[in-house]
Amino acid sequence: MAGGRVFSCNNTNSVGGSNNLSVLLQSQRVPSSSEPMDPLFIPRPGSSPYSFFGTRSMVSFEGVHGGNRSFFRSFDEEENGDEDLDEYFHQPEKKRRLTVDQVQFLEKSFEVENKLEPERKTQLAKELGLQPRQVAIWFQNRRARWKTKQLEKDYDTLQASFNTLKDDYGILLKEKDKLKQEVLQLTDKLVMKEKNNSELSDVNTVCQEPPQKPVDSDSPHSSYPFEPDQSDTSQDEEDNLSKALFQPSSYIFPKLEDNDYSDPPASSCSYGFHVEDHAFWSSAY
DNA sequence: TTGTGTTTTATTGCCTCC
DNA sequence: GGAGGCAATAAAACACAA
């Protein structure tokens, strides 16, 4: 036997050999489901209305007579009760379900406290006409069922949380993509701007000739055709890039204050810029 | 009626606590 | 070491569709 434990569970549900069933039937009363139950479900001693079966072992004929009919109902209705009784007492020991009332009573008791102290177990067993061991087993199985239900509940809760998080993640992902697209567009704009500026710089380098006149050092920017457009400062990123690209130190354009390119180089077109050109490029952005 | 899936009752073996 | 709890499992009882 496991753990040295010895269970004397012989014939737990059957009526003892000396029991007179008719006396038993008269002396026992099954409370209807509408009857109020003891708040703590520890049946009152003595003439408690919840003393289902006295101290005798419970007899359930569910299954023997079929359906969910209780023991008493079965015998009230059967005309050949003796034969059934005989059949019952001679059948081999079988598992028998508790009656609806017994289960209800145990359920209420379980709601109050799902653990079973020895005293309570004995009391319940006495009042329900069960072996204490049966009461203990019922509580044990009931706890297992409760745990399973609880796990299912927890799973549902976690599943709901997961779904919410998943939805939030999806929204954030879309937002991220949108912002990424925005950054790409702005970057493209800046690259194009830089490219155009480089082209202009190349043209000017090609067309440049030694200055004929001394440079006016007091106004270094006055003759630069492409000064940064200071009006467009709405976006920080572009603004920073603009600052970097258009720092005076990085200006690559030659001074064109004295436009002496009356004869453009043969290798290229007329790269002489006019003020309108500056306006054109500036407005392009 | 019968096959099959589910529920309930009970057992077994292991573990923890006192 | 005994008592009691729990997980796993067996087996009877039950429900239900075909």
Express each pLDDT in A42-62 by its tens digit.
433 333 334 444 333 333 333
Amino acid, res. A207:
C
Please state, for a pLDDT cut of 90, what percent of chain A lies above it: 33
Per-residue confidence (pLDDT) for residue A279, from 0 to 100 = 38
Rounded Cα–Cα distance for residues A10 and A7 (Å): 8
Task: Give the Å distances, CA to CA, from A43 to A37, A108, A131, A196.
Answer: 9, 12, 16, 96
User: Is the residue at A131 inside a domain?
Assistant: yes
Average pLDDT, chain A: 59
Picking from A116, A122, A123, the residue whose alpha carbon sits closest to that of residue A142 is A116
Tokens 């480089």 locate to A198
Rounded Cα–Cα distance for residues A43 and A247 (Å): 94
Structure confidence at residue A127 as a pLDDT band (50, 70, 90): very high
Tell me what the mean pLDDT of segment A179-203 comes to.
Answer: 92
Say if residue A186's pLDDT is above 50. yes
The spacing between the Cα labelled CA in A8 and the C1' in B9, in angstroms, equals 16
A198 secondary structure, DSSP code: H
Per-residue confidence (pLDDT) for residue A203, from 0 to 100 = 74
Protein-contacted bases of chain C (C-beta within 7 A):
1-8, 11-15
The spacing between the Cα labelled CA in A119 and the C1' in C5, in angstroms, equals 17
Tell me what the mean pLDDT of segment A135-141 comes to.
Answer: 96
User: Is the residue at A284 inside a domain?
Assistant: no
Catalogue the E-assigned strands of A113-231.
Answer: none
User: Is the residue at A175 inside a domain?
Assistant: yes
User: Is the residue at A28 inside a domain?
Assistant: no
- Strand B reaches within 7 A of the A9 CB: yes
Torsion sign over Cα A127, A132, A136, A141: negative
Say if residue A176's pLDDT is above 50. yes
Per-residue confidence (pLDDT) for residue A175, from 0 to 100 = 97
Rounded Cα–Cα distance for residues A98 and A71 (Å): 10
Rounded Cα–Cα distance for residues A99 and A215 (Å): 113
CATH of residue A140's domain is 1.10.10.60
User: Is the residue at A269 inside a domain?
Assistant: no
Per-residue confidence (pLDDT) for residue A162, from 0 to 100 = 95
Range with lowest mean pLDDT among A50-54, A155-159, A195-199, A277-281: A277-281
**Is the model more confident about A243 or about A93?**
A93
In which domain, by residue range, is A104 found? 98-196
User: Is the residue at A255 inside a domain?
Assistant: no
Protein-contacted bases of chain B (C-beta within 7 A):
8-16
A231 secondary structure, DSSP code: T
The spacing between the Cα labelled CA in A2 and the C1' in C6, in angstroms, equals 14
User: Is the residue at A126 inside a domain?
Assistant: yes
CA angle A231, A235, A237 (to 5 degrees): 120
A277: Cβ–Cβ under 8 A, 6 or more apart, which residues?
A225
Q: pTM of the prediction?
A: 0.51
User: Is the residue at A33 inside a domain?
Assistant: no
Picking from A126, A71, A129, A63, the residue whose alpha carbon sits closest to that of residue A96 is A63
Number of domains in chain A: 1
Q: How confident is the model over A261-284, as pLDDT tens digits?
A: 333 333 333 333 333 333 333 333
Structure tokens at A177: 């993509």
**Is the model more confident about A80 or about A108?**
A108
Task: Give the Å distances, CA to CA, from A145 to A140, A150, A281.
Answer: 9, 9, 78
Picking from A209, A185, A199, A198, the residue whose alpha carbon sits closest to that of residue A261 is A209
Range with lowest mean pLDDT among A6-15, A20-29, A116-125, A137-146: A20-29
